Amino acid sequence: MRQVFSILVNNHPGVLSHVSGLFARRGYNIESIAAGPTENTETTRIVIVAFGEEETLEQIARQLRKLYDVQEVNQLAYNRSVSRELVLATVAAGADVRTEVLQIANAFGANIVNISDSSITIEASGNDHKTRILIKALEKYGISDMARTGMIALPFDGMPEEWEPLA
Amino acid sequence: MEHSGSQIVIEELKANGIEIAFGIPGGAIMPFYDELQSSGFPHILTRHEQGAVHMADGYARVSGKVAAVITTSGPGATNTITGLCNALMDSVPMIVITGQVATPAIGTDAFQEADTYGCSLPVTKHNWLVKNPCELQGVVREAVRVATTGRPGPVVIDFPKDIQIATADYNPHKTTNIAPPAEHKFQISEPNSEAIDRLIEAIEQSEKPVIMAGAGILKAGASAELTEFARRTGIPVINTLLGLGSFPGTDPLFLGMPGMHGTAYANMALCDCDLLINLGGRFDDRVTGKVDRFAMNAVIAHVDIDAAELGKRVRTHIPILANVRDVLALLNAQVKIKERPGWADQIELWKEEHPLNYNWDDSIKPQFVIEQIQEISGGDGIYVSGVGQHQMWAAQFIRFNEPNSWVSSGGLGTMGFGLPAAIGAKVGRPDKVVWLIDGDGSFSMTLVELATAATYNIPVKVAILNNSYLGMVRQWQELFFEKRYSHVHYPENPDFAKIAEGYHVQGFDIKDMDKVRSTLEEASEIDGPVVMNFHVARNENVWPMVPSGAGNDEMQLGPEKTGQIT
């Protein structure tokens, strides 16, 4: 299973090495990792999407909490949090398919950031579900270059505990 | 008041209870060593940085205090890696201070530059690279705190040469805070009362309970509480390799060590028990054997101070995150006495049927030497080992009377640990006779520290059980690789007694059974380090044995023993 870890860490040099090194040396699988400042200049938020058995994911959280510079580890449930990723993709789209590609981009609310004679570069953001579908739709035309930020996520604030997460 | 970075570190080491350093100077740590000399800080000059780290390790294990290790940059720092990893695996605190090239030179592949921060990151509890002298006071305080709080472990402070010289305002009474508050890192949970109730209920319901006590008992200083708990409840006690000494080895309730080379009766009790109470052990794979065959019939309770150990390898029914001493105090106050005559009889029967034993012949049996050491010292010494067959025999045959009297590399299994660890142990407990039981392979790896023992007259009693083999590997090749012996033989071992003499250490070479006892007695009387090279039976194997990957119920007892019963 997949799990989103939202990790608040002290904004120190080396802290990313401590976190990523833990995943490497204990053999945990990372799907994506994104780090950036928070509202507090002394704190950085690292969001890691990892996959593994349930026990492994729990073990990851516990090992992370032992790291000196880690303040807080949250395992975010899919429907109790918001997650977003930014995708940049350059699609091979000559004049013959340009309209189709633009339509797809439009349907996903994506921005067009560059057009050349033979390609279109698309900027799209969304949750994991949306970006996956968009990428699949574009693959048909041929994606020549792609960059993804990796997931960032925050828990929903104020969601009553009794609201069961959706399946 | 302005102080140099070096002065600040030394003052803070002293203020935080560090009484001794082990180390070797070099280019990038010279300003610090200059200050060390003028400050009069006690320091033992070793011959290799690995030796320094193992000395700090042995020192900490027997004294409960923390030592510093000081090395230069580059090779000095990388030579500490094995020792750091060893200390991390066995949860031993120490403060390692490594010189580093000056900050402007960092990252330029300068002379004797190594990425000590990166190299030490996976083998420390935490590490720091200090680039501002103003941070030093906080870093040293925090380093000591991290090393000694909760589950202990080693820390590294990488200390660039220019920061050793640079000055900063220093007020020893200042409160420092180098990180945003992380107080929760240092808070130890109170035992969850619901879990304690469940454990008490499980104990009261159990007909066949067993305690397995690990090094957490020693680190928590909970031996007295453990002993009270076991004697009050009559529950037999297994000690893990690193937990040995936490329960009296002579107590009738003592079952010895579990797992791969554990006693037959400990493994039988583990397989048959209906309640296993793991107090401060971490279910190492050498203890459990094949996990899904481990204590299959038991409710498993696990007390640990490290949340990540609960449920890490073994499915646990009653996990308790707490200091084991607090848990034992609660148990002792609440648990009811219950007689379990059937279980006690069963364990007595196993003990009678499968005692620790070995076959006698004309050769010097390694187990015999250890038994003689045990007899001469009465179990009141400090016993240190290297890694291999001799380590297992020592763990099996010595009856430890006191906590913190056994120093052995458990998790990492570091050959070469013995001699430097023994030296450190003697420095930490000068009132005790320190015996090192070592193998020829292990001893060869760090024997250079004989020079340290001689220089400072640190009277460790070294007994080499010399079989001219990497004995444990030879045993595995014999048993599991159809006697295809691949590079395990040292036919041209040096004359260790002469080597000792070359280091100005008294050496003995023992080839006859008759000389074993008298040599050990003579050695124990000598005021100085001694090396005894015992030429022991070459093909002796350690029994019982649970083959790697097998369950404890698949333990092999080895050939029938015809010798004296131990």
Do A90 and A69 share a structural domain?
A: no
Task: Give the pLDDT confidence score for residue B566 in this predicted structure.
Answer: 43
Burial string for B34-60 (b: 16+ CB within 10 Å, else e) reads ebbeeeebebbebbbbbbbbbbbbbbb
Task: Give the pLDDT confidence score for residue A165 in this predicted structure.
Answer: 56
| Residue B188, helix vs strand vs coil | coil
For residue B142, name the pLDDT band (cuts at 50, 70, 90). very high
Task: Give the pLDDT confidence score for residue B12 in this predicted structure.
Answer: 97
pLDDT tens digits, one per residue of B490-502: 999 999 999 999 9
A100 found inside a domain:
yes
Q: Which residue stretches of B169-259 are H helix?
A: 193-205, 215-220, 223-233
Task: Give the pLDDT confidence score for residue B387 in this predicted structure.
Answer: 98
A160 found inside a domain:
no
First to last CA, chain A: 14
Element (H, E) at B99: strand B94-100
The last residue of one of the domains, among A76, A92, A126, is A76
Between 3.30.565.10, 3.90.870.30, 3.40.50.970, 2.60.40.10, what CATH number should domain B2-186 receive?
A: 3.40.50.970
- A18, A42, A66: residue with CB nearest B308: A66
Element (H, E) at A48: strand A43-51
Domain B366-542, CATH homologous superfamily name and number:
Thiamin diphosphate (ThDP)-binding fold, Pyr/PP domains (3.40.50.970)
Between 3.40.50.11540, 3.40.220.10, 3.40.470.10, 3.40.50.1220, what CATH number should domain B193-353 receive?
A: 3.40.50.1220
Q: Which two tokens stand for residue B146?
A: 């991290």
The answer to whether A10 contacts B125, with C-beta atoms less than 8 Å apart, is no
A125 found inside a domain:
yes
The answer to whether A65 contacts B182, with C-beta atoms less than 8 Å apart, is no
Do A94 and A46 share a structural domain?
A: no
pLDDT above 50: residue A42 = yes
pLDDT above 60: residue B181 = no
Task: Give the pLDDT confidence score for residue B450 in this predicted structure.
Answer: 98
pLDDT tens digits, one per residue of B539-551: 999 999 999 999 9
Catalytic (active site) residue B260: no
Q: How far apart are CA B555 and CA B547, in angstroms?
A: 7
Structurally, chain A folds into a number of domains equal to 2
Task: Give the pLDDT confidence score for residue A160 in this predicted structure.
Answer: 75
Catalytic (active site) residue B112: yes
Is B560 buried (19+), middle (13-18) or exposed (0-12) by CB count in 10 A? exposed
From B89, B113, B142, B161, the catalytic residue = B161
Residues A74-85: what's their mean pLDDT? 87
Asked whether B521 and B372 are in contact (CB, 8 A), the reply is: no
Q: How far apart are CA B98 and CA B140, in angstroms?
A: 13
Q: How far apart are CA B183 and CA B343, in angstroms?
A: 46
Kindly provide the residue ranges of all beta strands, DSSP E only, lying in B473-528, ordered along the sequence: 506-510
The answer to whether the bond into B544 is cis (omega within 30° of 0) is: yes
- A12, A18, A68: residue with CB nearest B146: A68
Do A92 and A49 share a structural domain?
A: no
For residue B182, name the pLDDT band (cuts at 50, 70, 90). low
Q: Is the dihedral of CA B473, B478, B483, B489 positive or negative?
A: positive
Task: Give the pLDDT confidence score for residue B178 in this predicted structure.
Answer: 58
Cα→Cα distances A84→A80, A132, A149, B446, Å: 14, 12, 9, 55
Q: How far apart are CA B132 and CA B68, in angstroms?
A: 21
pLDDT tens digits, one per residue of B350-367: 999 999 999 988 899 999
Task: Give the pLDDT confidence score for residue B562 in this predicted structure.
Answer: 59
pLDDT tens digits, one per residue of B84-128: 999 999 999 999 999 999 999 999 999 999 999 999 999 999 999
* A129 interface with B at CB cutoff 8 Å: no
The last residue of one of the domains, among A56, A76, A96, is A76
Catalytic (active site) residue B254: no
Q: What is the CATH number of the domain that holds A119?
A: 3.30.70.1150
Task: Give the pLDDT confidence score for residue B22 in this predicted structure.
Answer: 98
The answer to whether B307 contacts A62, with C-beta atoms less than 8 Å apart, is yes
* A56 interface with B at CB cutoff 8 Å: no
Residues B528-535: what's their mean pLDDT? 98
pLDDT above 70: residue B563 = no
Q: Lowest-confidence range among A64-78, B189-203, B278-292, B374-388?
A: A64-78
A123 found inside a domain:
yes
| Residue B340, helix vs strand vs coil | coil
For residue B1, name the pLDDT band (cuts at 50, 70, 90). confident
Task: Give the pLDDT confidence score for residue B565 in this predicted structure.
Answer: 43
For residue B177, name the pLDDT band (cuts at 50, 70, 90). low
Do A119 and A61 share a structural domain?
A: no
CATH 3.40.50.970: which residues of chain B?
2-186, 366-542
Q: Which domain holds residue A102?
A: 83-153
pLDDT above 70: residue B252 = yes
Do A149 and A97 share a structural domain?
A: yes
A53 found inside a domain:
yes
For residue B147, name the pLDDT band (cuts at 50, 70, 90). very high
Burial string for A101-116 (b: 16+ CB within 10 Å, else e) reads bbebbeebebeeeeee
The last residue of one of the domains, among A76, A109, A126, is A76
Do A24 and A58 share a structural domain?
A: yes
A166 found inside a domain:
no
A113 found inside a domain:
yes
pLDDT tens digits, one per residue of B16-30: 999 999 999 999 999
pLDDT above 70: residue B233 = yes
The answer to whether A62 contacts B146, with C-beta atoms less than 8 Å apart, is no
Q: What percent of chain A has pLDDT over 90?
A: 80
CA distance B107 to chain A (A): 14
Task: Give the pLDDT confidence score for residue A167 in this predicted structure.
Answer: 41
Do A89 and A71 share a structural domain?
A: no
Give me chain A's average pLDDT, please: 91
Q: What is the CATH number of the domain that holds A57?
A: 3.30.70.260
Q: How far apart are CA A16 and CA A22, in angstroms?
A: 10
Residues B31-35: what's their mean pLDDT? 98
Provide the pairing of β-strand A70-76 with A43-51: unpaired
Task: Give the pLDDT confidence score for residue A79 in this predicted structure.
Answer: 74
A165 found inside a domain:
no
Task: Give the pLDDT confidence score for residue B523 in this predicted structure.
Answer: 97
Residues B167-172: what's their mean pLDDT? 94
